[in-house]
Structure 1
Amino acid sequence: MESPIPLPVERAIHKLGSDISLARRRRHISQASLAERMGASLSTVRRMEKGDVRVPIHFFARALHVFGEIQALAHLLDTARDEIGLTLMDERLPKRVRSKPGGTSGAL
């Protein structure tokens, strides 16, 4: 039995679906045309635009690709700017580093 989907997740998927619908309509693209460009069925596009959480993420990614916005997905969790993750890593750094006998300093 799957756990229920958290409300913030549901809301985010619903908003993404609405935004895809708006972007499609602003570009004067029909749902059928978007489905064809995405390699998806018309019903998948309709469900996606309604924010159906059961639509696999790759369909949302394909829609973003059609709109030229795939980089938005690629940068969602940019680990180079993950302040929490970087802070946790920095907290685990050793206070001192001792050189090993006969070893190198580690300098480039």
Structure 2
Amino acid sequence: MPQLPVPIPVERAIRKLGSDISLARRRRHISQASLAERMGASLSTVRRMEKGDMRIPIHFFARALHVFGEIQALEYLLDTPNDEIGLTLMDERLPKRVYSRHGGTSGAL
């Protein structure tokens, strides 16, 4: 199966995340080698991640966020309880009427 090209907004987001990780690391006075050790990654992986290399698996970005105490940012990235589009689509599929299968009355419990 041929690989699709990476959309420009995706490339831009990964580059920004890598740059932000680099900035967060430097602000905390953590070397690339130390970050790599804390993440359980190689120095080369950290360098490539900070450059926005698209081939770096997402778990390395997650590990870096964890080191910085920011893993919740990834955890709540797609906030499904507040997904307006998804909730609207679900509401559109709700039945107009609900009939009782047993012929009895329905209502509150």
| TM-score w.r.t. length of structure 1 | 0.95
Cα distance change, pair 103–40 in 1 and its aligned pair in 2 (3 A): farther
Structure 1: give runs of 5+ residues left out of the alignment.
none
**Matches of 2:30 and 2:44, distance apart in 1:** 16
Cα deviation per residue 1:75-97 (whole Å; 9 max; x = unaligned)? 01111011100000000000111
Offset of residue 106 of structure 1: 6.8
Cα deviation per residue 1:25-81 (whole Å; 9 max; x = unaligned)? 000000000000000000000000000010000000000000000000000111101
**Matches of 2:21 and 2:99, distance apart in 1:** 55
Report the identity percentage: 86
The root-mean-square deviation of aligned C-alpha atoms, in Å, is 1.4
Offset of residue 104 of structure 1: 7.7
| TM-score w.r.t. length of structure 2 | 0.94
Per the alignment, residue 30 of structure 2 pairs with 29
Per the alignment, residue 15 of structure 1 pairs with 16
Cα distance change, pair 8–102 in 1 and its aligned pair in 2 (3 A): same
4+ runs deviating over 4 angstroms: none
How many residues were matched structurally? Answer: 108
